[in-house]
Structure 1
Amino acid sequence: MIECYKTATAGSIERIEAPESGCWVNAIAPTPEERAWLEEELGVLPEFVRSALDDEETSRIDYDEDVNQTFVIVDYPVAPGEEGAPDARQYDTMPLSMVFIPEKSLFVTLGLYDNPITRDMAAGRVRGVDTRFRTRFLLQILLRISQLYLVYLRRIDRLSSATEEKLHASVRNEELIQMLDLEKSLVYFSTSLKSDEVTLNKIMHGRIIPLYEDDQDLLEDVLVEIHQAIEMCNIYSNTLSGTMDAFASIISNNLNIVMKVLSVITIVMAIPNIVFGFYGMNVGLPFEGVPLLDNWAFPTLLAAVACLIAAWIFKRKGMWH
């Protein structure tokens, strides 16, 4: 799908039928025919198109002197259930690419899936957007991505706290698996955020993309948001990792307690079996032949065993000193 947008005189974003100078071309999961149109009609370099549609491509910035095109690729966060999310339980990141074509005054975005960043831009939910100012438009996209990271990180923190509360009540596999998924999500976020930070630092130098004074201020805002997201990601990751280790220790301790109780029950149940097993042997029994106790041998032995077991239990409970 390829759509073209341009900022109208009133400042709103309007969709146009064909690309023209100062417009924004948004390509989402382009077909082979659409890829050929991007390369032949707009002049986007084929290697830029291939890199943009590679889901394993890392964040970077590239410049081709021969055609005077700048290529920027960054990772944006994806929530479970959104288009492009590989797992229904985990947060992940996907690449979003942008190409500067100064010859035709065009700004092109390419992505594998529909995403909330370009949707918000096209719907006019971001203020101050002007497709004619390509550098500022790029920075506004980056700011939107960094803000989306912060939103999802806070959501992960709330999910982690809710899951931890459930674990306090009952340690089940479902909650532990959810905690593990959140921990993996934070690893994905941390890796992508650090790559995006490197790309932003390269943009900040101004050697590849020229920056004006307003652009410099906006870029600093983006960097602040990215640094905040990285710091939050590290804090949540450390907290979640510590929580997982704590619950692993609790589970191990609970298992030890259960095994201890089962061992005690086994030993206690074995004592009567040993004593009463003598009655199946051709051996003399305690109190046998004693006139007063001959008929009371079995109850006496039973009472003696019960007293021994009770004394042992009382001693284990600390009731006797």
Structure 2
Amino acid sequence: MIEIYQTMKDGIRKVDQISEGCWIALTNPSATELLEISERCHIEVDHLRAPLDEEERSRIEVEDDYTLILVDIPTFEERHNKDRYVTIPLAIITAKDVIITICLEETPVLKSFMDGRVRDFYTYKKTRFILQILYKNASVYLQYLRIIDRKSEDIEKKLHISTKNSELLELLELEKSLVYFTTSLRANEVVLEKLLRNKNIKQYQEDTELLEDVIIENKQAIEMANIYSGILTSTTEAFASIISNNLNIVMKFLATVTIVLSIPTMISSFFGMNVGGIPAGSNPHGFLIVAIVSAAITAFVAYVLAKKDLF
């Protein structure tokens, strides 16, 4: 899908034609759309296809007529009715007259620009636009990291009383997401440092300050991801032991109950033998006597086991 946006006097507007100073947003474009943009803007089609590969690495490539900036952005997908956090590539291409973004899917990183919710955003100020996208990307990382942290806290509460593996598997899934985030953020950090030294993209004083803010925000996201990853790793290991211990407690309780219930069963089996000489066998109150004795012994054994904290 191709969408074209341009800053007007009354804000950002969606337009039909490519013109100087516009922003071309490609979302999961078809081969035909890629060829069209390649011919119109004189960009190699391989560079336009690059962000459509989920395994593409973050980098900067400088050509004669344009510069390609490829970074990883956070997103989530539904898996087994649960949100799974991953990263996908986003390409930003600065050509002579336009700026182009290419991504596999709609993302909140770009959506806020399309909706005009970003202050001081102009499609013709390409350098500032790039930095604003990168700053928004780091902010979305931080937002998703806080969501992951809250989810891990909710799962921990369930794990206190759980003997199942489902919550533990959820923690492992979140831990995997943090690994993706940490790897992508570190790759983005390299891109930002190269961007700081890149002379092909014009930088003004206020843009340099914004780039430094982006680098700081990205470093903060890396630190948060590392902290949460460390916490999740130790929590997962601890609760794996807790689940095993909970299972042992349940087994101990069941074994104790089995011992207590085996006493009246054993006594009843003795007195139920069809042989002569059974005590109280001819007594009309024999059943009551056996029941009372059985109950008394069972109660005594249960009391002893309870005193030893075996229940």
Interval of TM-score (by shorter of Structure 1 and Structure 2): 0.7 to 0.9
Question: 1:172 & 1:216 partners in 2: Cα distance?
Answer: 52
2:74 paired residue among 73, 77, 84: 77
**Equivalent position amino acid for 2:302 in 1:** I
Is residue 2:39 matched to residue 1:40?
Answer: yes
The corresponding residue for 1:62 is 61
For residues 162-311 of structure 1, the aligned pairs below 5 Å read 162-168=154-160, 175-206=167-198, 209-279=201-271, 280=273, 282=275, 285=278, 305-311=294-300
1:121 paired residue among 93, 113, 119: 113
> Cα offset for 1:96?
1.0
Question: 1:76 & 1:35 partners in 2: Cα distance?
Answer: 21
Question: 2:251 & 2:80 partners in 1: Cα distance?
Answer: 40
Q: What is the CA deviation profile of residues 149-172 of structure 1, one whole-angstrom value per residue up to 9, with x for unaligned ones?
A: 112222222333334344446666
Aligned partners of 1:11 and 1:130 also within 8 Å? no
* Gap change, CA 1:273 and 1:283, over 3 Å in 2: farther
The corresponding residue for 1:25 is 24
TM-score, with structure 2 as normaliser:
0.83
2:91 paired residue among 88, 97, 102: 97
Aligned partners of 2:185 and 2:221 also within 8 Å? yes
Question: 1:245 & 1:287 partners in 2: Cα distance?
Answer: 59
Aligned partners of 2:93 and 2:100 also within 8 Å? yes
RMSD over equivalenced CA pairs, Å: 3.2
Residue correspondences, number = 307
> Cα offset for 1:45?
0.9
* Gap change, CA 1:115 and 1:298, over 3 Å in 2: closer
SS of residue matched to 1:41: helix
The corresponding residue for 2:307 is 318
SS of residue matched to 2:83: coil
Aligned partners of 1:143 and 1:225 also within 8 Å? yes
Aligned partners of 1:89 and 1:181 also within 8 Å? no
Aligned partners of 1:89 and 1:178 also within 8 Å? no
Structure 1 stretch displaced more, 273-282 or 179-188: 273-282
Aligned partners of 2:23 and 2:100 also within 8 Å? yes
TM-score, with structure 1 as normaliser:
0.81
Aligned partners of 1:79 and 1:91 also within 8 Å? yes
Question: 1:87 & 1:69 partners in 2: Cα distance?
Answer: 42
User: Structure 2 unaligned runs (5+)?
Assistant: none
> Cα offset for 1:43?
0.9
> Cα offset for 1:308?
4.1
**Equivalent position amino acid for 2:2 in 1:** I
SS of residue matched to 2:84: coil
Structure 1 stretch displaced more, 170-179 or 231-240: 170-179
> Cα offset for 1:69?
2.7
* Gap change, CA 1:265 and 1:124, over 3 Å in 2: closer
SS of residue matched to 1:127: coil
**Equivalent position amino acid for 1:5 in 2:** Y
SS of residue matched to 1:126: coil
SS of residue matched to 1:131: coil
The percentage of counterpart residues that share the same residue type is: 40
**Equivalent position amino acid for 2:22 in 1:** C
The corresponding residue for 2:6 is 6
Structure 1 stretch displaced more, 217-226 or 260-269: 260-269
SS of residue matched to 2:74: strand
The corresponding residue for 1:147 is 139
